[in-house]
Amino acid sequence: MNINYIYDRLCEILDKEDILLNEPMKNHTSFKVGGPADILVMPREEKQIVDIINLVKQNNIPFFIMGNGSNLLVKDKGIRGVVIKIAENYSDFEIKENVVKAKAGILLSRLAKNILKAELEGFEFASGIPGSLGGAIAMNAGAYGGEMKDVVTSVKLLDTDGNIIELNNEQMEFGYRKSILSYKDFIVLEVTMTLKKGKYEDIKSIIDDITVKRTTKQPLNLPSAGSTFKRPEGYFAAKLIEDAGLKGLTFKDAQVSPKHCGFVVNLGNASANDILHLISIIKKTVKDKFDVLLEEEVKIVGED
């Protein structure tokens, strides 16, 4: 890849301040680990996203789409090609009556606050999920009895040929921590949700209750990517890990959180390799003791 050529072409699409070269991915993930991306771009408009995709495809350059980086573990050698970060730069929204339209980069927490102001109920579950809307759609994020599939009406997407398409809830193929994006390289642009009118005090009470549960039960004071593992059918990952005697297990600066065994946390100076090594120990121990194979919920990307 001719970095200078691609950089010059990207400068025709984006402001220079929205293009970062050799950018450490630890600056863009909640785990605070990860080597450099060759180029990281932060588009502000739909047309910019379309133009970037066309550029990288025409030049056969590998690319990776990310949101807020809250469910991402980037390996220590980083990511080759172009990383397209759809986050705070692309986060407009509008609320009309009980219909919410929002760009993919908006944080769920920010969207939840504004939905509360509009006195709409049904989105409370997402108030403490630390990711972007696009990422939440891709993995059908959920918590405390709610999931994105419960509120989504339609999703505006960019397909691999650069066409903008719209899929309804059913066409999105939502399942447990998955959607059509689990096997198709679509990019989420905008989401439409339909909610119900409620009372401000009732909605706030539910959000406050969820906030208390999160802050008391989860290690939110340390870098992590949230729940490290998916829930195995018939089990709870955190309980399996604790019952395997792994609570507080530490490898260098990577640790199984003593507060919630479902979280692997970065005590400060962990590398991606340290975290991956600890994950492999957890998976092997749980498999040996209980014959249950844990599957990562955190998305692992980049070069070793």
Query: Is-catalytic flag, 110?
Result: no
pLDDT band (50, 70, 90) for residue 58: very high
Which whole number is the average pLDDT over 200-208? Answer: 97
Among residues 124, 147, 190, 297, the one annotated as catalytic is 297
- pTM of this structure: 0.94
d(CA 46, CA 41): 13
Full domain range(s) for residue 10: 3-88
Q: Does 224 fall in a domain?
A: no
Both 154 and 263 in a single domain? no
Model confidence band, residue 44 (pLDDT cutoffs 50, 70, 90): very high
Same domain, 137 and 201: yes
Instruction: Verify that 253 and 197 share a domain, yes or no.
Output: no
What's the pLDDT at 1? 80
Residue 242 is a catalytic residue: no
Of 127, 179, 224, 227, catalytic: 227
* Span 164-177, pLDDT tens digits: 999 999 999 999 99
CA distance 222 to 157: 34
User: Does position 162 have pLDDT exceeding 90, yes or no?
Assistant: no
* Each residue's pLDDT tens digit, 245-282: 999 999 999 999 999 999 999 999 999 999 999 999 99
Angle at the Cα of 252 from the Cα atoms of 250 and 253, rounded to 5 degrees: 80
Specify whether 32 is located in the same domain as 15.
yes
Indicate if 62 and 95 belong to the same structural domain: no
Is 222 within the bounds of a domain? no
Task: Examine the pLDDT at 39 and tell me if it is beyond 90.
Answer: yes
Active-site residue, from 177, 179, 224, 271: 177
- Per-residue pLDDT, 57: 93
As a whole number, mean pLDDT of residues 288-294 equals 98
177 catalytic, yes or no? yes
**Into how many domains does the chain fold?**
3
Confidence of residue 304 (pLDDT cuts 50, 70, 90): confident
Over residues 121-125, mean pLDDT: 97
User: How high is the pLDDT of residue 194?
Assistant: 98
> Does residue 30 sit in the same domain as residue 49?
yes
Check which CATH number belongs to the domain holding 79 and give it: 3.30.43.10
Decide if 228 is inside a domain.
no
Residue 33 has pLDDT above 90, yes or no: yes
**Which among 88, 109, 125 is the end of a domain?**
88
